[in-house]
Structure 1
Amino acid sequence: MTAIPQERRVVTAIPGPKSVELQARRLETVAAGVGSTLPVFTARAGGGIIEDVDGNRLIDLGSGIAVTSVGASAEAVVRRASAQLADFTHTCFMVTPYEGYVEVCEQLAELTPGDHPKKSALFNSGAEAVENAVKIARIHTKRTAVVVFDHGYHGRTNLTMALTAKNMPYKQGFGPFAPEVYRVPVAYGYRWPTGAENAGAEASAQAIDQINKQIGAENVAAIIIEPVLGEGGFIEPAKGFLPAIAQFAKDNGIVFVADEIQSGFCRTGQWFACEDEGIVPDLITTAKGIAGGLPLSAVTGRAEIMDSAHSGGLGGTYGGNPVACAGALGAIETMRELDLNGKAKRIEEVMKGRLGEMQSKLDNGDIIGDIRGRGAMIAIELVKSGTKDPNPEAAAKLAKACHAEGVLVLTCGTYGNVLRFLPPLVIGEDLLNEALDVIEQAFGRI
C-alpha cells in the first residue's frame, strides 16, 4: 500500500532540528490562531506511519482527525486523483458538470442508511455540509429553529460555532452567533447523575420536554446530533436516546440530521455510526474520511427533502471538486476491497482489551475513568484518582509523553480530559500494539 516502512523510528528529539527551523519560518507568516497538536513537519505518510522532515517515523493514532482512514497515500486514491488531475482540475459543477460528482452521489445513495430515494449535494468541508443541511431543513419545513446537544461539535463557521457546545477554543471572542439555535441535554452515560443505565430514557425525556416547553416542536426545522459525539469526548449516547429523539422528530415533522463527519465511512466498524441502533436519518452529513484526505463533504438525504431548495440555492465554486470526487471513489473502493469495517472492529477489540488491562493493572490506572467508543474511534476519559473530576493535566502529560516517543495521539472533550485514538483503519496490528506499549509506559511517567 505504501513504500514507507511501517515501523516507529525516533532519531532526533521531537520535534527535530529541521522541524524547529520550519516552525520558526511558520511563525513569521502563518496566523497564530492556526494551531498544531505537534509541530513536526511531515515529509510523507502512509499506512500507520507519519515520517517527518528529520527522518523520524511516528505511529499515527490521529489520521488527520479521522480523515485518512484508508491511509494518507492509499493506492486507489492516488491513482484515481492523479488520473483526474491529468484530465482537468476544475470546471465548477454549477457551470459544466462531470461524471465523478454524479458517481459520488450514487455511492452515497447506496451506502447511507435507508432504502428510500436519496439525493446528495457536495461541498468542501464538514462545517459547510452542516450549514447546508440547516438551509435544506429550513426551506423544507418552513421553520427556523435548530436543536443541538450538549458536548456537540459541528464546525468553526458562524452558524456552526453557534451549533457547537464548546466555547474554548472554538467560540471565544468570535460572536455574536447565528440565532434560533437551542441546546438540550445528551445521554452522557459516564456522567449521568442517576447512572448510565438511566441516561438514555432520562436524557431523551429531558431533551424532548425542553424542546416542547422552550421552543415548541412546531417551530423546529432540524435536530442535529453526532451519533458518536467527537470533539465533545467520543461520547456514545446511552442506548435508547437516539431512537427516542429520532422518533420525536418524525412525529413532529422535524428533519433529523445525523452529523457523521467524524464517525462515518467505516470509522466505527459500520459504514455509518447511526446504523448501530437502526437509525435512518432524514439527512446525513459527511466529510473527513470520505475522500482519503482530499477536501470533500456531502449532505445526503431523502430526495423530497433535498429537492426542497430551488435551483441555484445550493452549491459553491469548489463544491464537489473533480479531483476530490476521484479521491472519494478511490477511498470507497479501498474501504470495500479491504473490508475496513472489519478492520475497525478488530482495532476496537485490540485497543479496548489493552486499555482495560492498563486500567486494572497500572498503579495509577484508576485515573482512567472510562474506556469508550466503537471501531477505530476509541477514547479514555481521565479523572483525578478516586473521583470523576476531570483531569486535563493528565491528558496533556500523557499526550506529551507519547509524542516524545514517536506516537501521535490527540486530546478532546468538553473538559479537555479525553485521550482519543483515531488510527488509520489500515494500520498494522503490530504497530497498533507498539503504540499501546508506548501509551502504557507513558502512564508510568505521569
Structure 2
Amino acid sequence: MASHIVLVTLACVALSSSAAADLRVRCNPDATASALMGDALRHDMSRHGHARFAARELASTDATISAPTRNDGPEYLMNLSIGTPPVAFPAIIDTGSNVIMAQCAPCGGFDTAPLYNPSSSSTFSDRPCDSSLRVGFCDAADGGAANDTTPGCPCTRNQTYAEGWAFFTMAMETFTFGSTSGDDQEVPVAGMAFGCVNDSSGGWGSASGMVGLGRGNLSLVKQLGASRFSYCLTAFHDGNSTSTLRMGPSAAIDDTSAQSTPFVPNPNLGTLSTHYYLNLTGISVGDKSLSIPADAFSLSADGSSGGLIIDSGWTTTTLVDVAYQQVRAEIVSLVTLPPIDEPQAGLELCFNASQESTSTMTDMTFHFDGEDMVLPAESYMYLSSGSEWCLRMNNASAEDGSVLGNYQQQNIHFLFDLDNEMLSFAPADCSTI
C-alpha cells in the first residue's frame, strides 16, 4: 500500500551498456536479513510510471506457461530460470507489485539463494533511459539531466521502504518457463524487462528475486500479454509440497463449486492500478455476522486510500481497524483464554494454548458481492512453537486499507481473469494442483 513507501527516487547514472561486466554494483553484505524485506518490501511501485514494452501475446496462441510453486517461510516462490545459459531463479510470487527483480552478483553474503550474474549471460543488456521507457521514469541524478539520452546511461531506480530499500538497474534478459503441453518442454522468452538489484538493505531469504504479477506494464502478466493466470498456494507450514502457477489461455479452475467476484476498478487509476481490488462486504465468524460498517472496505472517492486488495506477496491479512476490532473481539470470546500481554512479534493477538485446544475453532467467512470465501481455522489462526496460538491478522488505518495476505490464501485455487475483470476461487488441496 502507498503508505508503506517512504520515498521513491528515480535515477539515471552513467554506466556502460556495452558489456554486463561493466555494471556498477554497490553491495552491503552486513545488512540485516530477510525480515527487512518481508511484508513491506514492494508496494505501489506502479504509481510512478512504467516502461512500454511490446507484450508477447500469450492470449493470441494456445501457449500457457507454468512454474512450480512452494512455500518458503513468509513467502511463496515460483521456480523459473534467467539468462543464457539459464540459471535457476526461485522468485517470490507477488500480485501486489509490477516489476520483476533479480538479485545480481557480485552482491551477496546475506542470502542463501543462487545469485544471477549478468556478466555470465549472453542475453543480458541494460535498458537505457532513452528507450521505450515513458518520459519521467528516469530522473536526474549524479549531475545528469532528467531523462538523459546519453548513450550508455542505463535506467536505475532506488526504492525506499519503511523497513528497507533496494537499488536496481532496469535491464533486458531471457527468462525460461515450463510449459503445460505435457511434454516437459521449456519455454524461453527473450527481451523481458527486469530490475537487476545491485544493492539492498536486506535480502529475500532463499529467493533469488521477485516476480510482480500486478497490472503495470513491467509485470510478468503484462509483458507476456496474458489475459488470465492461476495459482494455488500450498499449506503455509508445508515447505515440501508443490503446486503450479499457470499463465495463459488454459489457466482455469476445474471445480463446479468455484465462485467468482468482480475486481473493483480504482476510480483514479483505472486499469493502470497496480493492485487487484475486491469488494469485501462483510465478515462472519461461524454463524455470526460481525457488525462492520458497510463502507469499511470501500475505496476513497479519489482512489488514493482504503479498499481491499489480494496480495500473494503479503503474509498476514490486515483489516482496517473498525473491522479488525470486531474480528478480534469475536476471537477473544470464542477462545476463552486470556490474551498474552506481549504476543509474538508482528502479531497483535495471541494466547497460551496447546495443539488440542486449537481444534474446536469455527470457520471464518469473507463475503464478496454475495460470494463466500470460507477460511478454516488453520487459515486464520497460527500455532507457533506449540505454545502461542495467534490470530494471523493485524489492523490497519482506514487510509492504508485492507490486504488479503497469502496466509489466508492457502489451499484456495485462484483464477485471475483479466479480460472479464473477475477473480474466481475454490477450496482445494493445492498440493494436487
Normalization by structure 2: what TM-score? 0.27
More helix by share: 1
Bigger strand fraction: 2
